Amino acid sequence: MLEVINATKQYGNGEARVVALNGVSLTAERGEFIAIMGPSGCGKSTLLNVIGGLERISSGEVVLEGQRIDTLDENSLVATRRGKIAYVFQQYHLLASLTAVENVMLPLVLAGALGDQHELAMDILKKVGLEKRAGHRPSQLSGGEQQRVAIARAIVNNPSLVLADEPTGNMDQKTSKEILDMFCRMNDEGQTIIMVTHDPGIARLAKRVVFLKDGQIVNGTGE
């Protein structure tokens, strides 16, 4: 469902040039759960960003469900991404002025989804165990609860692919485990997931681990 072919990404020029991705090829089949590991600065977030279409590659190809997305113009990219790719960040990125259920509804509103958007958002909130918090704003929720709202928002319009960049980076062990259990359940139900993590314990839950080093995929531990 996803193919990254010989992707490179450079930032800056001359002295300031940084090669964040140096020829990365990665294939993800439908239903996979891939963990991306590697030292700080090796290009993990950059890889996730180019898959998600948040950043452009310098060369190579990104193919999502048979369609090249790296060559799309900005508008087509946004339209293609919407509903197909969802993102979960370390810093939840919820909108502070909206309640939990309104945050979850947002992708449905943006996509002009048919049906009862509020009801659908409530169903998903129930799935992440937060129906009783539906009317709370992010500032009234714990970190783990906010991340569960962010996950609910990510999956509400049934994306083909969920990208997560250290989604449990800020959490204590217990909360982190709740969030990971949730990703595992989503994957059991067929959701394709690519997750960046520093934690080998977390990576063990994934079906496949990819190690990056200096912008390249390496075999073994990458150490």
Ligand X SMILES: Nc1ncnc2c1ncn2[C@@H]1O[C@H](COP(=O)(O)OP(=O)(O)OP(=O)(O)O)[C@@H](O)[C@H]1O
Residue 46, interface with ligand X (CB under 6 A)? yes
Rule CB under 6 A: choose which of 6, 18, 56, 71 binds ligand X. 18
How far is the CA of 36 from the CAs of 71, 77, 83, 193, in angstroms?
25, 24, 23, 11
User: 2 vs 20, which CB is nearer to ligand X?
Assistant: 20
User: 12 vs 220, which CB is nearer to ligand X?
Assistant: 12
The amino acid sitting at 220 is G
From the list 11-19, 57-65, 98-106, 184-192, the region that binds ligand X by CB under 6 A is: 11-19
Residue 46, interface with Mg ion (CB under 5 A)? no
Rule CB under 6 A: choose which of 42, 101, 121, 202 binds ligand X. 42
Residue 45, interface with Mg ion (CB under 5 A)? yes
Residue 41, interface with ligand X (CB under 6 A)? yes
Burial code (b: 16+ CB inside 10 Å, e: under 16) for 105-134 equals: bbbbeeeeeeeebeebbbebbebbebeebb
Q: Which two tokens stand for residue 117?
A: 């958007």
Q: How many CA atoms lie within 13 A of 48 on its CB side?
A: 25
Residue 44, interface with ligand X (CB under 6 A)? yes
β partners of residue 193: 33, 162
User: 44 vs 81, which CB is nearer to ligand X?
Assistant: 44
What does the binding site for Mg ion look like in residue numbers (CB under 5 A)? 45
